[in-house]
Structure 1
Amino acid sequence: MTERRRAGLAVMSEVYGWEMSDGPGDFFAHTADQVFGEVWSREGLTHRDRRLLLLGALAATGMTDVAEIQAGAALGNGELTPEELDEIGLFLCYYVGWPLGTKMTMMFGEVIKQHRRARK
């Protein structure tokens, strides 16, 4: 395993909050090496900043399934609070449209419930 792959896997583990192991194929290689080893590792933005931008992009494209993973990781890592996720949902309603923002808000509510249950 290359140093670049190790660095990418370490950042993936930080971002998602669970231990990532190496995976097969070119797609995983590009994800680990480029997306996490290079893009998420750059200076200038925190993981929280990048997560907020990603949540906005996912909301704009209606990708609530991927956003659910990001929201859960943000809560688990302490990057966002349940109250902040609620506020993000409302904010997104105005910028991505009420239907897409509502889908995100409803999904955030479910993620918050799961997070609170797991903490008990």
Structure 2
Amino acid sequence: MESKKKVLIVDDEEVILFLYKEELEEEGFAVETAMNGELALRQFEAAPPDLVILDINMPGMNGIEVLRQMKSINASLPVILSSAYPEYKQDFGAWASDEYIVKSANTADLKAAVRKYLD
């Protein structure tokens, strides 16, 4: 039996973590969550995921910094930035991500992006 692809979702909003986790588990992925960048990096190093969905605007370490650190460990890791703010798409640091999704209750774009990298 094929093992499930693992997705790590990093967001400081519990409602987003819950929504994304539910939606991606329904798609057949194993999902881990972290509420901040420091915790995400610890989880990332302990059990590397196949893909990371990363919020940008978080207290403490922001998503761009987390992205840089994760990519320095595994440059080929697919990272999807997820933000409520479309203007971050122009941020130079966001260019290191593989995909940029504006947060929405409609998770079709997110699920399509995850499938693109993990199918």
Higher strand content, 1 or 2: 2
- Greater C-alpha radius of gyration: 1
TM-score (norm 2): 0.32
- Higher helix fraction: Structure 1 or Structure 2? 1
